[in-house]
């Protein structure tokens, strides 16, 4: 049974039911959305000519749909446009966990898995999706309107978020009690995406200042 868009939870299915460390599982819609929205890149897995394939690509979520885009000659998109099932994964590593034993070393993370099949997006809606992709990656960025030949050279696929789950580890160090007295350091090393200073294009016209959204660009929780 698929959860309706009005529910706060996705209904687990045989494919999304987390069996390994189920206490880390979540089917919370808001959490899943936040994991996806923070990401620029996802990994898409599918079968092509009886062989497993996995491809990194940019991802966009609008409501309860995910969108992938690229060239009409892109092998992954051409295969998925035929309805071949896909597994889409998004992962954020929030901290390196350094325990007192090798078994106690780990990472704190947030991840989401989506099982779905793609549907070709055509017509005026495609231009809207292309613009939303740009705004998702660089919020506030201004670009000229796309040319028709550019839209014709872009394939967009929509993936309904039907089977979805998240998995989160955020507990830090969890060492054995007998290791707590060892003369060894233990702790977490937080990680986050940090933007560097913007670099103007070498052919940028004189007098165009670097916009605030580029100077203050950041991604992360909250």
Q: What is the pLDDT of residue 2?
A: 42
Q: Parallel, antiparallel, or unpaired: how do β-strands 60-62 and 119-121 relate?
A: unpaired
The pLDDT profile of the chain, 222 residues, written as one tens digit per residue, is: 344 445 899 999 999 999 888 888 899 999 999 999 999 999 999 999 999 999 999 999 999 999 999 999 999 999 999 999 999 999 999 999 999 999 999 999 999 999 999 999 998 899 999 999 999 999 999 999 999 999 999 999 999 999 999 999 999 999 999 999 999 999 999 999 899 999 999 999 999 999 999 999 988 764
Phi, psi of 33 (to 5 degrees): -60, -40
Q: What is the pLDDT of residue 5?
A: 46
Residue 30 CA to residue 61 CA, distance in Å, equals 12
Q: What is the pLDDT of residue 3?
A: 43
Q: What is the pLDDT of residue 6?
A: 58
Q: What is the pLDDT of residue 221?
A: 65
Closest listed residue to residue 94, CA positions, set 29, 170, 156, 145: 170
Tokens of 136: 């998702």
Residues in a beta bridge with 87? 45, 115
> DSSP labels for 57-83?
EE-EEETTEEEEEE-TT-HHHHHHTTT
Q: What is the pLDDT of residue 36?
A: 97
Phi, psi of 152 (to 5 degrees): -65, -25
Chain centre to alpha carbon of residue 28: 16
């Amino acid at each position: 049974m698929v959860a309706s868009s009005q529910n706060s939870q996705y209904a687990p299915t045989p494919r999304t039911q987390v069996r390994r460390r189920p206490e880390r599982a979540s089917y919370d819609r808001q959490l899943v959305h936040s994991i996806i929205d923070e990401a620029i890149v996802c990994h898409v897995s599918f079968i092509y000519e009886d062989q497993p394939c996995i491809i990194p690509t940019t991802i966009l979520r609008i409501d309860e749909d995910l969108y992938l885009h690229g060239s009409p000659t892109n092998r992954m998109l051409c295969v998925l446009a035929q309805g071949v099932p896909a597994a889409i994964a998004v992962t954020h590593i929030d901290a390196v966990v350094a325990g007192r034993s090798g078994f106690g070393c780990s990472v704190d993370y947030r991840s989401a898995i989506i099982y779905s099949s793609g549907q070709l997006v055509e017509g005026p809606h495609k231009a809207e999706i292309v613009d939303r992709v740009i705004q998702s990656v660089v919020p506030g960025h201004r670009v000229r309107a796309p040319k028709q030949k550019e839209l014709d050279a872009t394939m967009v696929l929509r993936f309904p978020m039907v089977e979805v789950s998240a998995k989160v580890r955020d507990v830090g160090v969890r060492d054995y009690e007998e290791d707590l007295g060892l003369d060894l350091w233990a702790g977490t090393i937080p990680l986050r995406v940090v933007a560097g200073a913007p670099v103007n294009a070498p052919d940028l016209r004189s007098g165009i200042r670097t916009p605030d959204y580029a100077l203050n660009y950041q991604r992360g929780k909250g």
